[in-house]
Amino acid sequence: MTIKIPVSRPSIGEEELDAVKSVFESGWLGLGSVVYDFENALKEYLGAKNVIAVNTGTSALHIALDGAGIGKGDEVIVPSLTFAATIQAIIAVGAVPVFCDIEANTLNIDTAEVKRRITSKTKVIMPVHYCGNPCDMESLTAIAQEHNLTIIEDAAHGFGSTYKGAKIGSVGDITCFSFDPIKTITCGEGGAVVLNNNEIAEEIRRKRILGIDKDSWYRYKNEKLWFYEVTTRGYRYHMSNISAAIGLVQLKKVDTFIEKKRAISRRYDEAFAKMGGIKTLDIDYRDTAPFTYIVRAGERRDELMEYMAAKGIDTGVHYIPNHIHPLFKEYASSLPVTEKVWREIITLPLYYDMSEKDIDKVIEGIAQFFS
């Protein structure tokens, strides 16, 4: 049957179309001035020193690791309960993912478990701000400083969230965002690497366009229009003007998006607190820009998903832990909390354009199932 209420959906319209039309009319579709405008707007919003816009969030993670010099045999401590992109980026540079358990009440990385997994080969801690809920960055930073480690945040869920008054993106060493179709803001597809270290930032800028020292936009302003140099290993990861144009419009709306999703999440929390059989996560919405809304439904999770689907309500599971997937099984370790909670979690609809009627229908569906 056709799903009437999706689990997520972008909020895009005429303003985004007009912005893309302007790029079409300019004739410059690839990396150019609109991308730089988007980067500057992100710098201002995040309070960051360097922002490098790329074509996907996965590219952001990969190029951040590569730019930071992470390579063969280096260990990266990371939760297993994350999208496969996080782990693919780690193994793409030849590093080893060291799976870490999570906190049952937030599903964020457990800092005590991080300490237990540090070895002489550990180079990076990669926390994931699950659902947009910020990790304990203070504790993670203390651990990283003690052991001379780099923190590379997977903030694909975390755009717009804050930690102790500072935007995610201005807290850790390197932060990676995603702007895919269902993220807090979208570029259609896109991502960004955010950091304060100028030297690593310049290396990442070169790497995002095949290791070329100056990108095509600026080359056209030189006396020798044809000249360029390849100075490092690189990739075709740059963002296009088309994507950046969408992102610029979306960024103007981000606070409105966040407040609406916070209101829906609070309403869910309030309704589900009165019900048996379902457990909400421990999230402070004053700090969190909710990306997804996830609850634990115990052993009846799959049954609940089937029930909601029959009512025309889409749900999801975010995520199947990575150590369970065939490609990553060799890195598996004991993760008792992860093993338990992933069989209980269910993602409920959450997006800016949800109507009051849609919200009511989701709450009523859950209440009817557990009654």
Q: Give the alpha-carbon dihedral of 65, 67, 68, 73, to 10 degrees.
A: 50
The total of other beta-carbon atoms located within 10 Å of residue 359's CB is: 19
Per-residue pLDDT of 3-56, as tens digits, reads: 699 999 999 999 999 999 999 999 999 999 999 999 999 999 999 999 999 999
- Same domain as 188, residue 97: yes
- Same domain as 344, residue 270: yes
Residue 169 inside a domain? The answer is yes
Per-residue pLDDT of 60-108, as tens digits, reads: 999 999 999 999 999 999 999 999 999 999 999 999 999 999 999 999 9
Residue 9 inside a domain? The answer is no
Give ∠ CA 115-132-316 in degrees, rounded to 5.
Answer: 105
| SS3 assignment, position 172 | coil
Lowest mean pLDDT across 206-220, 234-248, 251-265, 331-345: 206-220
Residue 1 inside a domain? The answer is no
Give the DSSP letter string of 80-121.
SSS-HHHHHHHHHTT-EEEEE-B-TTT-SB-HHHHHHT--TT
Q: Does residue 143 contact residue 149 with C-beta atoms inside 8 Å?
A: yes
Give 224's pLDDT tier (boundaries 50, 70, 90): low
User: Side-chain half-sphere of 225: how many Cα atoms within 13 Å?
Assistant: 3
Per-residue pLDDT of 167-181, as tens digits, reads: 999 988 999 999 999
Q: Is the dihedral of CA 63, 69, 74, 78 positive or negative?
A: negative
Q: Which domain holds residue 180?
A: 14-250
- Same domain as 267, residue 238: no
Residue 3 inside a domain? The answer is no
Q: How many domains does the chain have?
A: 2
- Same domain as 347, residue 291: yes
Question: pLDDT value at position 227?
Answer: 74
Question: CA–CA separation, 17 vs 249, rounded Å?
Answer: 10
- Residue 54 φ then ψ, to 5°: -130, 180
Per-residue pLDDT of 342-370, as tens digits, reads: 999 999 999 999 999 999 999 999 999 99
- Same domain as 246, residue 282: no
Question: pLDDT value at position 214?
Answer: 65
- Same domain as 323, residue 229: no
- Residue 11's nearest CA partner among 261, 315, 263 is 261
Residue 4 inside a domain? The answer is no
Report the run of H or E that residue 31 belongs to, with start and end.
none
Residue 319 inside a domain? The answer is yes
Query: CATH code at 81?
Result: 3.40.640.10
- Same domain as 48, residue 185: yes
Last residue of a domain, one of 203, 232, 250: 250
Question: CA–CA separation, 260 vs 268, rounded Å?
Answer: 12
Tokens 């895009």 correspond to 12
- Same domain as 101, residue 175: yes
- Residue 250's nearest CA partner among 130, 160, 348 is 160
- Same domain as 217, residue 114: yes
- Same domain as 214, residue 280: no
Tokens 């150590």 correspond to 323
Name 231's Cβ contacts closer than 8 Å, sequence gap at least 6.
206, 211, 212, 213
Q: Is the dihedral of CA 196, 62, 234, 251 positive or negative?
A: negative
- Same domain as 113, residue 70: yes
- Same domain as 206, residue 58: yes
Instruction: Point out the residues that are catalytic.
Output: 183
Query: CATH code at 342?
Result: 3.90.1150.10
Tokens 């993602």 correspond to 347
| SS3 assignment, position 22 | helix
Question: pLDDT value at position 229?
Answer: 84
Last residue of a domain, one of 211, 233, 250: 250
pTM value is 0.96
Question: CA–CA separation, 225 vs 227, rounded Å?
Answer: 6
Last residue of a domain, one of 207, 226, 250: 250
Six token digits for residue 14: 């005429």
